[in-house]
């Protein structure tokens, strides 16, 4: 259903220019007439201290209606939003990567009730100071039976105004009711689950009200999966694979929707990253010959990467790390056509954790020469056929033959016919090549010595014998 945004006076005064593409937390009145996806109208956000967190104040942005990112479906706002602060242990207990809700009904530590008061519009207001607590606090946000959609945000700040959420304190949404504001279709938001998402723990999620936004799981290597029933590889390239949530932008000014865990709630660290585009950066992998035939030298370059990114490159083959850095020389044990992968750590967003690139490398070795000579001693003019037909290239490439007699090129092809009338010793060699550019790794040679004998020569010496009656 089309979401109608009522442009109220406060909206005109603030203007859209001051608001970038953003993701907000959201809640709807129980009688909302637009497709917000909100079927619960109550959400809990965990304000969790990290390590030795300093004292701060939990604050709410745009707590009431009438701000630039709210949907008012009638002439006047009629939805009341209540923000209540509880100690975490009063409402929940931890259960691995999730939480279990207690059945208690405690009183809140602090509370704000907002409708459309001017003091809440487009500004941060304090809810309460956060004192030392090992588990932190829960901000419970609920709405009444109005028909508006209220978008808001939470943070923790020090007395001096320094933002502490994201460092000393984490904002953790227990299931998501969110809105994306002033986006385009190619805009992408990324969220990480609270706690590292172990392989095989990807949840089944239910998404409601997303309209033209796409909501998908994304893994460490940028592959995308449906939110329900995804089967994500435990590892790739020998590296543990983790997952998060990706949300694309919308053609609506504000698109609100919910992402619920099926069976149990899913906890999300609410520190979204926004990307204007997710096109994979171009990487050039330059390959040159190395000194050794079984080695190659490489160099990485790409205008989208800084030198520090490229120096952290990881080179992989068959899931095994074979080198690191931006200009390695790598020796290979295998020969022929090999596939290698280059992983560049991604420092600009949560996912992918690595940009992956593949390259085919050809490791060439010299052909194996099999030279056969049926005889090695010939008579003058006696023909001899030598053969190198048994020669082969270990990588299966076509081979080429060149025959030499005493260093002079005399023929081509797998066989060679030799004869000579001049006696003497002749060195016959065959060079077998696979046509590679590196001659030292592409050519092999074998030779044989052939002797042509001198033509036999005989003289007969006869001693004259005379009879008594013969004339002399």
Whether 408 shows a pLDDT value over 70: the answer reads yes
Supply the pTM of this predicted model: 0.77
Residue 202's pLDDT is 78
Residue 53 pLDDT > 50, yes or no?
yes
Q: HSE, CB side, 13 Å, CA atoms: give it for residue 1.
A: 14
What pLDDT is attached to residue 297?
Answer: 96
Judged against a pLDDT cut of 70, whether residue 472 lies above it is answered with no
The dihedral through the CA atoms of 248, 250, 253, 258 has a sign that is negative
Cβ pair 268, 289 in contact under 8 A: no
pLDDT at 279: 79
User: Is pLDDT above 90 for 437?
Assistant: no
**Per-residue pLDDT at 185:** 87
What's the pLDDT tens digit per position in 272-289?
Answer: 999 986 678 999 999 998
Percent of the chain beyond pLDDT 70?
91
What pLDDT was estimated at residue 8? 32
pLDDT for 5 beyond 70: no
Give pLDDT, residue 20. 59
**pLDDT reported for residue 11:** 30
Asked if pLDDT for residue 430 goes beyond 80, the answer is yes
Residues 6+ apart with CB under 8 A from 339: 317, 358, 359, 360, 361
pLDDT tens digit sequence for 120-166? 999 999 999 998 677 899 999 999 999 999 999 999 999 898 999 88
**DSSP state, 355?**
E
Paired sense of beta strands 443-452 and 377-378, if any: parallel
Per-residue model confidence as pLDDT tens digits over 327-355:
999 999 988 899 999 999 998 899 999 99
> What domains are defined for the chain?
9-275 (no CATH), 284-363 (2.60.40.10), 377-452 (2.60.40.10)
Q: Give the residue with greater pLDDT, 123 vs 98.
A: 123
Q: Which token pair is 183?
A: 């986006």
* pLDDT cut 90: percent of the chain above it: 69
- Residue 87: its pLDDT value, please? 95
Residue 262 has pLDDT above 70, yes or no: yes
Work out the pLDDT band at 469, boundaries 50, 70, 90: low
Whether 35 has a pLDDT exceeding 90, the answer reads no
Q: How many residues are listed for the chain in this entry?
A: 472
Give residue-wise pLDDT tens across range 448-463. 999 999 866 667 776 7
State how far the Cα of 154 lies from the Cα of 171, in Å rounded to an integer: 7
Reduced to 3 states, what is the DSSP secondary structure of residue 55? coil
Three-class SS of residue 24? Answer: strand
Report the distance separating Cα 389 and Cα 109, nearest Å: 91
| Residue with more model confidence, 198 or 253 | 253
Q: Is the dihedral of CA 7, 8, 9, 14 positive or negative?
A: negative
Mean pLDDT, rounded, of the chain: 89
308's enclosing H/E stretch is helix 307-311
Question: What pLDDT, in 10s, does the model give residues 349-396?
Answer: 999 999 999 999 999 989 999 999 999 999 999 999 999 999 999 888
């Amino acid at each position: 259903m089309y979401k109608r945004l009522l442009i109220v006076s406060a909206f005109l005064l603030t203007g859209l220019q001051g608001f970038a593409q953003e993701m907000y937390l959201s809640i709807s009145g129980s009688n909302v007439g637009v497709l917000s996806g909100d079927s619960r109208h109550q959400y809990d956000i965990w304000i969790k201290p990290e390590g030795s967190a300093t004292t701060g104040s939990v604050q709410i942005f745009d707590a009431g209606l009438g701000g630039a990112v709210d949907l008012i479906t009638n002439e006047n706002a009629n939805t009341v939003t209540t923000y209540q602060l509880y100690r975490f242990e009063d409402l929940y207990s931890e259960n691995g990567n999730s939480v279990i809700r207690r059945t208690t009904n405690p009183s809140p530590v602090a509370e704000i009730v907002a409708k459309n008061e001017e003091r809440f519009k487009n500004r941060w207001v304090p809810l309460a100071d956060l004192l030392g607590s090992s588990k932190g606090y829960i901000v419970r946000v609920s709405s009444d039976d109005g028909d508006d959609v209220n978008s808001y945000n939470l943070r923790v700040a020090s007395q001096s105004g320094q933002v502490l959420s994201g460092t000393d304190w984490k904002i953790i949404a227990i299931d998501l009711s969110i809105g994306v504001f002033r986006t385009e279709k190619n805009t992408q938001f990324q969220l990480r689950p609270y706690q590292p998402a172990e392989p095989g723990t990807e949840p089944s999620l239910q998404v409601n009200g997303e309209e033209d936004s796409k909501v998908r799981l994304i893994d460490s290597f940028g592959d995308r999966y449906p939110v329900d029933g995804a089967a994500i590889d435990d590892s790739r390239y020998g590296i543990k694979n983790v997952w998060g949530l990706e949300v694309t932008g919308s053609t609506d000014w504000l698109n609100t929707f919910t992402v619920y865990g099926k069976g149990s709630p899913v906890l999300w660290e609410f520190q979204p990253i926004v990307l204007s585009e997710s096109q994979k950066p171009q990487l050039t992998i330059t390959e040159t010959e190395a000194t050794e035939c079984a080695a190659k030298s490489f160099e990485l370059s790409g205008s989208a990467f800084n030198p520090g990114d490229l120096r952290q490159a990881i080179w992989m083959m068959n899931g095994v790390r074979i080198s690191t850095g931006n200009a390695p020389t790598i020796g290979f044990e295998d020969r022929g056509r090999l596939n290698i992968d280059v992983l560049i750590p991604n420092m600009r967003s949560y996912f992918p954790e690595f940009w992956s690139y593949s390259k085919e490398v050809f490791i060439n070795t010299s052909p194996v020469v099999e030279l056969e000579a049926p005889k090695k001693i010939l008579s003058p003019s006696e023909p001899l056929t030598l053969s190198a037909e048994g020669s082969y290239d270990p990588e299966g490439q076509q081979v080429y033959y060149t025959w030499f007699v005493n260093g002079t090129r005399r023929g081509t092809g797998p066989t060679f016919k030799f004869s000579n009338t001049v006696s003497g010793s002749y060195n016959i060699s065959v060079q077998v090549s696979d046509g590679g550019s590196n001659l030292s790794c592409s050519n092999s040679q074998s030779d044989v010595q052939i002797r042509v004998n001198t033509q036999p020569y005989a003289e007969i010496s006869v001693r004259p014998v005379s009879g008594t009656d013969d004339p002399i």
